[in-house]
Structure 1
Amino acid sequence: MAEAPPPPQEVADRVFANVRLLLLCVTGVLQFGLCLPPLLVHDHAPTAWLAYAAFSAVVLLCAVWVAPRRPLPTPVVALGVVVVLASSVTATSALPDGGHFQAPHWSFGLVGWHLLLLLLDRVPLLLCAFAAHVVDSVVQFVLADLPKRVEIGAAGAVLLSVTSFQLAILWITRVLHRSSRQAAEAAAEQERAATRVALARQSELDLRAGFAGQLGATLPLLADLADGVLDPRDPDTRLRCSLAATQLRRLFAENDDVPDPLVHEVTACVDVAERRGVAVSLAVSGAAVPVPKDVRRELTGPVAVALSAARERARVSLLRTGGEVRVAVVADAGVRVVAQSPRVEVECGTYGEHTRMEARWRSE
């Protein structure tokens, strides 16, 4: 049997897990490979090393959950964002003169990768954090010294290139997340459709098998009637025809979609008897309980036999409790009904010209 596809949400979450793992690698390379040399070469204030250590701690902390592809806990995300933004302010304030948006400004591009790593699946918070980081960097750039037009242009180019690339990563991730979710939903719907088709085919096969089994007993009767072997006026022949009609009517009712299948099938047997002129009273007590189809067939089989043999009057009662279902028939017919299955107990007694039959099924 084919394995069921994973839920769409689980498939979509894998996108965040895989992209976050890639971001962890990128951030680690930038942190320890590209940001450390500017910190060593240029003359930064001592607080820059404190900011660098804080950035490194965030990367190592995130690796505990990101490496095994587990979602980041909310407290870790909140703490990481606060540390990253505070470290960004500290690192920018520790730059040497004229270092804003230049080679010494090692932290500007790094902050965005940290925020992506932490807030990849929280877009509104990520955009707010990005905005706070950019505003702080620009404010410190302006307050540090009155920038010249060339410096403003260079700063704008750096700011646009870095932020646009990082936001593009965010957009691509969201597209992948949405596409994977839609693909998973389509696969799940296809699986559900295949399951419905398989169930419909199985139901059709069961229906055909039931009809074939029932017609297997009816066709010889029809053939004998057509060939003149049986006399329609003979009481035994009429009894066999009545029983066949009742069984076929019950078989048709078995496949109807109704709230209470057992009552529906018993009523079908009663209808056939009433069409023959038998006065039948039906009493039903107890709430509906789920009864398997094969058990319903065994419960109503004796009812069909007793009603098909009734001459003028019959009484049918259906009693249902939490753990037991009983179907009883009292008819003016001298017919013997025996149990056909160990699951359903059948008691039958003849009292003069009347027969009392009871079929009992225990669900527990």
Structure 2
Amino acid sequence: MSDAVEEVTRAQLRHGLRIATLLVAAAVVFGLGLSSLLRHLDAYEPSLAQLVAFAALGAVLGGEAALLARGRSWDRLRGPAIAVVLAVSALSYVTLPDGRTSTGVDWIFGAANWVGLVVLLDRPLRAAALFLLAHDLTALLHLVLLDEPSRGDLARFATGSVSVIGFPLCLAVVATVLRSLSAAAAAARREAEQVRVAEAVAAESHRRRQQRFAELSTTTIPLLEGLADGSLRPEDPLVQRRCAIEAARMRRLFAETDTVANPLLHELRHCIDVADRKGVVVELDARGQWPEPPVAVRRDLTEAVLIVLATAASRARVTAVGSADVLSVSVVADCGEVNVPSPVTPGVRVEALNNGNTVWMEARWQPIRQRTS
């Protein structure tokens, strides 16, 4: 399937070639053709048929000029236009004096071929070749059926056919080659664009990996190093709590790259999954609709949840309530006293209440105030 780059390249080359072909055809028809027609006008019987044929070819060229000005092609009018060219070619030969085929009097022999090429330039090469053969065959039938051709007449016709078919056919071949080159050039440009995109994606992926490593290096890596060197004991409840928190942070970090409809709820579910694996029963309730928070805001909103869930003993409830003006994420769980995290994003506030073994913690974000502050 052609993309925008390929289509633009083809359109530019096709438009320039159509203009050049139209100029050549107009020079042949209105220059050589008209001069020959007027010089031998008295020889035609009747001369009106030749004038009608000339006017028809001029109308086809005028139609091509109008289409070029509007940036359009012949489309469904292509067939009728070729039919008109062949019809007026036959009309011209009907009123051509005997023995004048492929001579200076036969002005349409070297004019209609260019007009037909103008119409068929953007079609496959075989279409132009078939038209040129049909046009040449019209002249040959007139010569054979209505005249008594000598060897000299046939030789003159064959010599004239070389230029009548050869020159326009060469231009049609050039048009075909240019179309192939434009497709190849567009394909090369598309491949280069794909390479640039792949390089940009690879660079962005590398940057994100470095960013994740930096984010984990301050908390997760020291924990792993402590477990590795024996300075931290796995059976220590505080160490277990730290491990649960870091596991939730890592799952949240990996979830941040997922493409989902609601990133905040998606990341909350990953935080909850760590508590589920410990046997804690967690309920998640989401109400309302809210604009998608930036990644930094989502981290502040979920940090309170994952800290409380890491300490929960048996049950917890997570609630996300939002609108266009405010977004709140709260958690209630049966856990002991926990440290209230300090948000790093302006516009996010965290509150906590303790009642015995029950802790309620809420992180609230007001996006409108954040954007206008």
Question: Normalising by structure 2, what TM-score?
Answer: 0.76
Select between 161-170 and 109-118 the one with higher mean Cα deviation.
Answer: 161-170
Which of 6, 9, 28 pairs up with 2:7? 9
Pairing 1:354–2:352 present:
no
Amino acid at match of 1:302: A
The structural deviation recorded for 1:279 is: 2.2
Match of 1:145 in 2: 147
Pairing 1:54–2:52 present:
no
Q: Could you list the per-position Cα deviations for residues 40-98 of structure 1 after superposition, in whole angstroms to 9, with x for gaps in the alignment? A: 333532132332233233323422333x4822354664554344233222322232221
Match of 2:119 in 1: 118
- What CA distance in whole angstroms lies between the structure 1 residues aligned with 2:182 and 2:202? 30
Written as runs of structure 1 = structure 2, the 5 A alignment for 1:162-241 is 162-218=164-220, 239-240=241-242
- What CA distance in whole angstroms lies between the structure 1 residues aligned with 2:367 and 2:101? 80
Contact 1:12 1:178 in 2 (8 A): no
- Secondary structure in 1 aligned to 2:111? helix
Q: Specify whether residues 65 and 249 from structure 1 end up closer, same or farther in structure 2 by C-alpha distance, changes over 3 A only.
A: closer
Which of 295, 300, 303 pairs up with 1:301? 303
Q: Specify whether residues 227 and 125 from structure 1 end up closer, same or farther in structure 2 by C-alpha distance, changes over 3 A only.
A: closer
Contact 2:319 2:331 in 1 (8 A): no
The structural deviation recorded for 1:237 is: 6.6
Amino acid at match of 2:197: T
Q: Specify whether residues 238 and 143 from structure 1 end up closer, same or farther in structure 2 by C-alpha distance, changes over 3 A only.
A: closer
- What CA distance in whole angstroms lies between the structure 1 residues aligned with 2:281 and 2:206? 33
- What CA distance in whole angstroms lies between the structure 2 residues aligned with 1:213 and 1:19? 59
Select between 260-269 and 94-103 the one with higher mean Cα deviation.
Answer: 260-269
Unmatched 5+ stretches in structure 2: 369-373
- What CA distance in whole angstroms lies between the structure 1 residues aligned with 2:323 and 2:119? 55
The structural deviation recorded for 1:205 is: 0.8
The structural deviation recorded for 1:139 is: 2.0
Q: Specify whether residues 159 and 322 from structure 1 end up closer, same or farther in structure 2 by C-alpha distance, changes over 3 A only.
A: farther
Amino acid at match of 2:176: R
Match of 2:315 in 1: 314
The structural deviation recorded for 1:149 is: 3.1
- What CA distance in whole angstroms lies between the structure 1 residues aligned with 2:76 and 2:233? 89
Q: Could you list the per-position Cα deviations for residues 285-339 of structure 1 after superposition, in whole angstroms to 9, with x for gaps in the alignment? A: 79x99956615434432222212233x2232546699989875432222333565
- What CA distance in whole angstroms lies between the structure 1 residues aligned with 2:159 and 2:353? 100
Q: Specify whether residues 284 and 168 from structure 1 end up closer, same or farther in structure 2 by C-alpha distance, changes over 3 A only.
A: farther
Match of 1:27 in 2: 25
Contact 2:281 2:315 in 1 (8 A): yes
Select between 318-327 and 97-106 the one with higher mean Cα deviation.
Answer: 318-327
Identity %: 33
How big is the alpha-carbon RMSD for the aligned residues of Structure 1 and Structure 2? 4.1
Contact 1:306 1:337 in 2 (8 A): no
- Secondary structure in 2 aligned to 1:103? coil
Match of 2:252 in 1: 250
Contact 2:226 2:232 in 1 (8 A): yes
Q: Specify whether residues 113 and 361 from structure 1 end up closer, same or farther in structure 2 by C-alpha distance, changes over 3 A only.
A: farther
Amino acid at match of 1:355: V
Select between 168-177 and 21-30 the one with higher mean Cα deviation.
Answer: 168-177
Match of 1:81 in 2: 82
Amino acid at match of 2:89: S
- What CA distance in whole angstroms lies between the structure 1 residues aligned with 2:365 and 2:183? 48
- Secondary structure in 2 aligned to 1:315? strand
The structural deviation recorded for 1:138 is: 2.1
Question: Normalising by structure 1, what TM-score?
Answer: 0.78
Select between 317-326 and 143-152 the one with higher mean Cα deviation.
Answer: 317-326
- What CA distance in whole angstroms lies between the structure 2 residues aligned with 1:353 and 1:156? 108
Contact 1:270 1:280 in 2 (8 A): no
Aligned length: 357
- Secondary structure in 1 aligned to 2:188? helix
Which of 158, 161, 169 pairs up with 1:159? 161
- Secondary structure in 1 aligned to 2:315? strand
Contact 1:313 1:332 in 2 (8 A): yes
- Secondary structure in 2 aligned to 1:7? helix
Q: Specify whether residues 329 and 97 from structure 1 end up closer, same or farther in structure 2 by C-alpha distance, changes over 3 A only.
A: same
Amino acid at match of 1:15: L
Contact 1:325 1:361 in 2 (8 A): yes
